[in-house]
């Protein structure tokens, strides 16, 4: 009995020592490398970097975070755009109701406007990966409950055609999806979904042309067994008309996925389409 109590005491003492060491290491790290906002390079409060005792970096400073996230308001449960207070949107809003989206819903940080728009544009550059990671962390911090409720089996980024990797080393959707997979502790299936042909830039096309442009442009080549019966969190940086994620969703569902939920940093308001 006495030896059992002594063993428990030793275990408790070891855990306290390990906790103290982790806290000391975190404090030393913050002292040597004080967290800075990758967007404005201002100082980030230490409390903004910790969740459940874990260090979450990089993150935006309080000022940039407040400016990037719109005030609370009603949003369409399907496509994520802002809607009126009394509008029901279980089956979509006036923007998306007739578009036959195959994904369940969109979980987004904010609207593609103001500082969030600037951050998304700057995050696309090859040397600004920390901005993309900070936006992903901000999405997770603000929508953590909703993201965890999805209970995804895999996190999959919207892919690029292979030649784009040769000219653009940083793929923002991939960075965001990697961060979300780490936060959710879910496998990151980076190479599961492929783009099979090079297509004109969606931003240069009308909504109707966008749908035709991407038809049949995605496929699941290898690892199809990973998809069958699974819930997929499909990740992109910016949603304009939702055409790209809808085509990716069709491909994943045809490959046997159970359901697809979309996560994005920003949704483009209808007046900007």
DSSP string, 86-149: T---TT--TTTTTS---SS-EEEEEESSHHHHHHHHHTTSTT-HHHHHHHHHHHHHHHHHHHHH
Task: Inform me whether the pLDDT recorded for 29 exceeds 50.
Answer: no
Domain boundaries, the chain: 1-33, 74-272
Average pLDDT over residues 33-37: 70
CA 235, chain centre distance (Å): 5
Task: Inform me whether the pLDDT recorded for 54 exceeds 50.
Answer: yes
Second-level CATH architecture of 74-272: 3-Layer(aba) Sandwich (3.40)
pLDDT at 13: 66
Question: Which is higher by pLDDT, 186 or 273?
Answer: 186
Q: Which two tokens stand for residue 182?
A: 């780490």
Where b means 16+ CB within 10 Å and e means fewer, 24-33 reads eebeeebeee
CA dist 177 and 261 (Å) reads 13
Residue 125 near residue 83 (C-beta atoms within 8 A): no
Mean pLDDT lowest among 85-94, 179-188, 228-237: 85-94
Q: What percent of the chain has pLDDT over 90?
A: 45
Question: Which is higher by pLDDT, 241 or 4?
Answer: 241
Residue 267 near residue 106 (C-beta atoms within 8 A): yes
What's the predicted TM-score (pTM) here?
Answer: 0.82
Tell me if residue 25 falls in helix, strand or coil: helix
* Helix 114-122 / helix 129-150 crossing angle, nearest 10 deg: 110
Q: Ranked by mean pLDDT, which of 52-61, 75-84, 85-94, 185-194 comes out on top?
A: 185-194
Per-residue confidence at 234, pLDDT binned at 50, 70, 90?
very high
Sequence-distant (6+) residues with CB within 8 A of 46 are 30, 35
Task: Inform me whether the pLDDT recorded for 5 exceeds 70.
Answer: no
Mean pLDDT lowest among 98-102, 109-113, 247-251: 98-102
Where b means 16+ CB within 10 Å and e means fewer, 254-267 reads ebebebbbbbbbbb
For 182-232, what is each residue's pLDDT tens digit? Answer: 999 999 999 999 999 887 776 666 666 776 777 888 999 776 788 999 999
Task: Inform me whether the pLDDT recorded for 84 exceeds 60.
Answer: yes
In 3D, which of 196, 208, 203 has the Cα closest to residue 124?
Answer: 203
Q: Which two tokens stand for residue 106?
A: 């969109």
Edge-to-edge, what's the strand order for the sheet holding 231-239?
106-111, 259-267, 231-239, 154-157
Q: What percent of the chain has pLDDT over 70?
A: 77
Task: Inform me whether the pLDDT recorded for 79 exceeds 70.
Answer: yes
CA dist 128 and 150 (Å) reads 29
For 123-166, what is each residue's pLDDT tens digit? Answer: 988 788 999 999 999 999 999 999 999 999 999 999 998 888 77
Question: Which is higher by pLDDT, 24 or 121?
Answer: 121
CA dist 243 and 257 (Å) reads 19
Q: How many CB atoms lie within 10 A of CB 252?
A: 25
């Amino acid at each position: 009995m006495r030896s059992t109590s002594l063993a428990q005491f030793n275990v408790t003492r070891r855990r306290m020592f390990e906790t103290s060491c982790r806290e000391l290491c975190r404090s030393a790290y913050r002292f040597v490398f004080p967290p800075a906002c990758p967007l404005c390079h201002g100082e980030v409060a230490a409390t903004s970097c910790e969740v459940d005792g874990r260090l979450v970096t990089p993150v935006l400073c309080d000022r940039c975070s407040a400016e990037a996230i719109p005030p609370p308001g009603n949003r369409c449960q399907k496509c994520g755009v802002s809607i009126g207070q009394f509008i029901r949107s279980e089956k979509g809003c006036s923007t998306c109701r007739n578009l036959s989206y195959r994904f369940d819903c969109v979980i987004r940080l904010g609207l593609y406007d103001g500082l969030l728009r600037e951050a998304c544009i700057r995050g696309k550059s090859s040397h600004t990966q920390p901005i993309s990671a900070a936006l992903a962390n901000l999405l997770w911090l603000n929508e953590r409950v909703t993201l965890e409720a999805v209970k995804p089996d895999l996190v999959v980024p919207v892919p690029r055609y292979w030649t784009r990797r040769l000219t653009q080393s940083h793929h923002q959707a991939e960075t965001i999806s990697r961060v979300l997979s780490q936060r959710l502790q879910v496998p990151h299936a980076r190479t599961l979904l492929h783009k099979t042909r090079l297509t004109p830039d969606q931003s240069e096309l009308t909504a109707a042309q966008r749908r035709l442009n991407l038809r049949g442009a995605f496929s699941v080549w290898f690892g199809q067994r990973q998809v069958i019966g699974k819930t997929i969190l499909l990740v992109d940086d910016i949603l304009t008309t939702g055409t790209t994620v809808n085509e990716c969703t069709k491909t994943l569902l045809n490959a046997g996925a159970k359901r697809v939920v979309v996560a994005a940093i920003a949704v483009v308001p209808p007046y900007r389409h």
